[in-house]
């Protein structure tokens, strides 16, 4: 069944008495329910999973890393690529076998973008699932759980009221560690022909400055030193500011930078079309903003970019990169690349290779084109054979990985500020993140965990750095 959207002021269809009782049990220490949340995909899903845990805490669910011990299992899914969706069904098969054999009272939920896109299919294909909820409806988890326990059957929630979600989430955050994601924008209006996000996350919406700042202050109060502002198109942010006007992402960053305790700020993922001069200037002038920018282009061929509906050319992207580097010379770029988009020829692919060579990336993410049902790309002619996609991906990744390793090696001898996140695998070893997001290992006392320290880089691999306290 599908629940109908409720009116703004109507009472929730939820067993309020049960929820009140659950809260009482928590206070008395009686409640020991466990929830296991498995997260697939992007930073947005990581944030959503954390907030689902926040939603469930008041009704007695504590997180567990052991799915077989959980009373509630939630798979928070990604729908960007076909394999990601199939992994979910494979995991559901394992859960079904375990539930039938060992834990018949276990409840199972599928959340996120696969849930949004394939809600009804999940219900029919995987009867083990009790609840299906899209990325804009996880604030309704308590009432969905109440419905399941009352025996009303499977519950499907896939409405698109994003701002309602943020309004109804609990104010309390339970951040893990000293860095945290903070969602400021959701959805996408770009409609790239390969992408399901506009259909699974909805239109672009931005949270108000007041709501973002309140959450950032709470994170700082819990010891968070680094905040990453996230959104599907984070630089399309246009939330209402304290002056009643729409603010740019640059304005928001400068405002968040004033919060005591927040020492490092990042943002992702950006779209080239929304990279305005104010944000570029902020990159150059705000010292708390880290010198790392994820700015995907996807392909170097103008023909392919047009077919993807990216809304810009390679020349425009290059010009944008030049402006960014002029404002922030020490910046490292990260990018996304898709090979084998319908109609892509070897000549088109070589233009992508040229793009990588000319721009230069400190890190990257690269994939074979994956047909997603319902997107315009799925119906395009001249689909590229799988073996050609694989060959191009291997060649592209060889270049990208070499650039990543070269960039890391270029840092040897430099002293970088590192946010110490925890201890390493070896005795007296610490682990943290550099301004460029590389994992960084060095020796030092445990009381440095949570601090930002200077580390001189002495060695570098493709994915991490090694150093010593400066």
Average pLDDT along the chain = 87
Q: Is 21 within a domain?
A: yes
Residue 113 has what pLDDT?
A: 82
Tell me how far apart the alpha carbons of residues 220 and 226 are, in angstroms, rounded to a whole number.
Answer: 9
Weakest-pLDDT range from 191-205, 252-266, 443-457: 191-205
Of 408, 436, 460, which residue constitutes the final position of a domain? Answer: 408
Higher per-residue pLDDT: 112 or 385:
385
- What is the spatial order of strands in the sheet that 179-183 belongs to? 179-183, 226-230, 264-268
Do 367 and 443 lie in a common domain? no
The helix-helix angle for 113-125 and 82-102 (nearest 10°) equals: 50
Report the alpha-carbon distance of residue 284 to residue 282 in Å, rounded: 5
* CA distances to 13, 36, 230 from 55, in Å: 17, 14, 20
Distance CA 426, CA 411 (A): 23
Provide the pLDDT confidence category of residue 17 given band limits of 50, 70 and 90.
very low
Q: What is the predicted pLDDT for the residue at 89?
A: 86
- Is residue 428 domain-shared with residue 354, that is, in the same domain? no
Mean pLDDT computed over 323-351: 98
22-26, 272-276, 419-423: which range is least confident on average?
22-26
Find out whether 191 and 198 touch, Cβ atoms under 8 Å.
yes
Same domain (yes/no): 101, 247: no
Span 139-150, pLDDT tens digits: 888 888 888 877
Cβ 403 vs Cβ 392: under 8 Å: no
Q: Is residue 282 a part of any domain in this protein?
A: yes
202 and 309 fall within a common domain: yes
Do 239 and 343 lie in one domain? The reply is yes
Q: Which of 136-145, 146-155, 160-169 has the lowest average pLDDT?
A: 160-169
Report pLDDT digits (tens) over 91-113. Answer: 999 999 989 888 899 999 999 88
Asked if residue 11 is part of any domain, the answer here is no
Residue 156 reports pLDDT greater than 80:
no
Binned at pLDDT 50, 70 and 90, residue 331 comes out as very high
> In this predicted structure, what is the pLDDT of residue 405?
97
Do 204 and 103 lie in a common domain? no
Q: Determine the length of the chain.
A: 470
At residue 154 the predicted structure's pLDDT band, cuts being 50, 70 and 90, is low
The sign one gets for the Cα dihedral 357, 359, 364, 370 is negative
Other Cβ atoms within 10 Å of 381 Cβ, number: 6
CATH number at residue 184: 3.80.30.20
- Model confidence at 434: pLDDT above 80: yes
pTM above 0.85, yes or no: no
Question: Pick from 408, 429, 460: which residue ends a domain?
Answer: 408
**Residue 430 counted as domain residue:** yes
- pLDDT score of 265 more than 70: yes
5 domain residue, yes or no: no
pLDDT band at 171 (very low <50, low <70, confident <90, very high): low
Q: Residues 276, 277, 283, 288: what is their CA dihedral angle, to the nearest 10 degrees?
A: -90
Do 215 and 357 share a structural domain? yes
> Residue 86 has what pLDDT?
78
**Exposure of 400 in the CB half-sphere (CA atoms within 13 A):** 21
Instruction: Report the percent of the chain where pLDDT is more than 70.
Output: 87
Confidence category of residue 233, pLDDT binned at 50, 70, 90: very high
Question: Is residue 4 in a domain?
Answer: no
Claim to verify: residue 42 and residue 107 sit in the same structural domain: yes
Average pLDDT over residues 207-211: 95
Cβ atoms 451, 417 nearer than 8 A: no
8 Å CB contact between 394 and 340: no
Together in a domain, 294 and 187: yes
Same domain, 420 and 460: yes
252 and 330 part of one domain:
yes
- Which ranges of 40-80 does DSSP label H, i.e. alpha helix? 43-56
Query: pLDDT at position 157, please?
Result: 65
Q: What is the domain count for the chain?
A: 3
- 2 within 8 A of 156, measured Cβ to Cβ: yes
**pLDDT over 50 at 22, yes or no:** no
| Residue 255: DSSP 8-state | H
Structural domain span for residue 141: 16-160
Residue 3 lies in a domain: no
Kindly tell me if the per-residue pLDDT of 422 is higher than 90: yes
* E strand or H helix at 226: strand 226-230
Q: Is 124 exposed, middle or buried (0-12, 13-18, 19+ CB in 10 A)?
A: exposed
Segment (H or E) for 100: helix 82-102
Predicted confidence (pLDDT) at residue 159 exceeds the cutoff of 70: no
**Tokens 């050319």 map to which residue?**
313
Q: Find the CATH number of the domain harbouring 131.
A: 3.40.50.12160
Domain identity same for 96 and 240: no
pLDDT band at 201 (very low <50, low <70, confident <90, very high): confident
Burial of 80 (0-12, 13-18, 19+ CB in 10 A): buried
End-to-end Cα, the chain, rounded Å: 61
DSSP 382: S
Would 10 be classed as within a structural domain?
A: no
Radius of gyration (C-alpha) of the chain in whole angstroms: 23
User: Which domain-ending residue is among 408, 439, 454?
Assistant: 408
pLDDT surpassing 50 at residue 68: yes
CB 376 within 8 A of CB 199: no
Residue 102 DSSP SS3: helix
The CATH number linked to 442 is: 2.40.50.140
More confident: 308 or 15: 308
What φ, ψ does residue 39 adopt, rounded to 5°?
-110, 130
pLDDT for the residue numbered 313? 98
């Amino acid at each position: 069944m599908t629940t109908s959207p409720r009116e703004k002021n109507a009472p929730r269809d939820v067993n309020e008495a049960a929820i009140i009782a659950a809260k009482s049990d928590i206070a008395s220490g009686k409640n020991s329910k466990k929830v296991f949340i498995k997260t697939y995909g992007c930073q947005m899903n990581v944030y959503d999973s954390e907030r689902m845990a926040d939603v469930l805490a008041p009704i007695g669910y504590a997180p567990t890393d052991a799915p077989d011990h959980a009373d509630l299992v939630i798979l928070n899914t990604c729908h960007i690529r076909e394999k990601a969706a199939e992994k979910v069904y494979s995991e559901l098969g394992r859960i079904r076998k375990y539930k039938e054999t060992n834990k018949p009272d276990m409840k199972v939920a599928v959340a996120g973008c696969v849930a949004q896109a394939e809600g009804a299919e999940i219900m029919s294909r995987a009867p083990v699932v009790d609840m299906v909820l899209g990325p804009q409806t996880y604030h309704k988890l308590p009432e969905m759980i109440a419905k399941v326990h009352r025996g009303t059957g499977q519950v499907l929630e896939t409405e698109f009221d994003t701002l309602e979600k943020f309004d109804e989430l609990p104010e309390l955050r339970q951040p893990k560690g000293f860095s945290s994601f903070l969602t400021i924008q959701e959805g996408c209006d770009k409609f790239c022909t390969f992408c399901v996000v506009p259909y699974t996350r909805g239109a672009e919406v931005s949270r108000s400055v007041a709501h973002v700042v309140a959450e950032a202050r709470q994170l700082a109060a819990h010891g968070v030193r680094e905040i990453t502002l996230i959104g599907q198109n984070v630089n399309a942010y246009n939330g209402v500011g304290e002056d009643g006007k729409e603010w740019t992402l640059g304005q928001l960053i400068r405002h968040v930078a004033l919060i005591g305790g927040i020492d490092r700020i990042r943002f992702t993922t950006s779209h080239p079309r929304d990279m305005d001069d104010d944000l570029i200037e902020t990159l150059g002038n705000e010292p708390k903003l880290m010198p790392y920018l994820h700015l995907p282009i996807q392909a170097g061929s103008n023909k392919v970019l047009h077919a993807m509906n990216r809304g810009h050319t390679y020349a425009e992207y290059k010009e944008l990169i030049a402006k960014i580097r002029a404002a922030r010379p020490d910046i490292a770029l990260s990018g996304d690349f898709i090979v084998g988009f319908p109609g892509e020829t070897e000549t088109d692919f070589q233009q992508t290779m040229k793009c990588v060579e000319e721009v230069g990336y400190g890190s990257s993410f690269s994939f074979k084109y994956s047909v997603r049902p319902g997107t315009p790309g799925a119906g395009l002619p001249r689909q590229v054979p799988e073996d050609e996609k694989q060959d191009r991906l291997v060649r592209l990744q060889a270049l990208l990985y070499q650039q990543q390793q070269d960039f890391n090696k270029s840092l040897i001898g430099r002293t970088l500020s590192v946010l110490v996140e925890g201890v390493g695998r070896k005795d007296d070893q610490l682990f943290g993140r550099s301004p460029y997001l590389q994992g960084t290992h060095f020796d030092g006392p445990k009381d440095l965990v949570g601090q930002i320290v200077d580390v001189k880089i002495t060695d570098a691999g493709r994915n991490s750095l090694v150093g010593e306290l400066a």
